[in-house]
Structure 1
């Protein structure tokens, strides 16, 4: 699916992650996390798998992690993806 607009979900509070998705020719992830050395690969994996479930192949993702668990990363990525695709009113629950 094609990104229609830049969208964001999440906060910069502890135990959360802020995800910003914008249109790009290919998928790139810019991760800012104090635990990137330990968990960076897992964070990126969750983001990539969630976007793949929406059929998003081209996007630039800016992720600012403050210690979020996988379920939070997925939820924030889903919210940002739905906003970016313009499908917030009709969410794709099958991604869950």
Structure 2
């Protein structure tokens, strides 16, 4: 999927996260800011990378402001932001599980 416009998903309330997605040429740039990064940073990054890989996102600027969200919330917010940022997408729902 190619990110063609900016999009947001989520909130900055406790146990949630805000995902900001924007187009970028070249490579995938992921910025993660989290209150629990020292404890769960590797797991957060793993969930983000796995979700983007399943969605076949290879370019873009992704900023995540985490407030202690669970893996399922991270996945859902990231999927929502990416789907809002692409045009004319045919969704493979099986791949998003």
When normalised by structure 2's length, the TM-score is: 0.89
Runs of 4+ with >4 A deviation: none
The aligned residue for residue 46 of structure 1 is 47
The aligned residue for residue 3 of structure 2 is 3
The aligned residue for residue 22 of structure 1 is 22
**Local SS of the residue matching 1:21:** strand
How big is each residue's C-alpha offset from its partner over 1:20-50, in whole Å with a ceiling of 9 and x where there is no partner? 1111221121111111111111111111111
5+ long unaligned stretches in structure 2: none
Instruction: Quickly say closer, same or farther: Cα 1:31–1:3, change in 2 above 3 A.
Output: same
5+ long unaligned stretches in structure 1: none
When normalised by structure 1's length, the TM-score is: 0.90
- Whole-angstrom distance in 1 between the partners of 2:53 and 2:88: 16
- Whole-angstrom distance in 1 between the partners of 2:63 and 2:83: 16
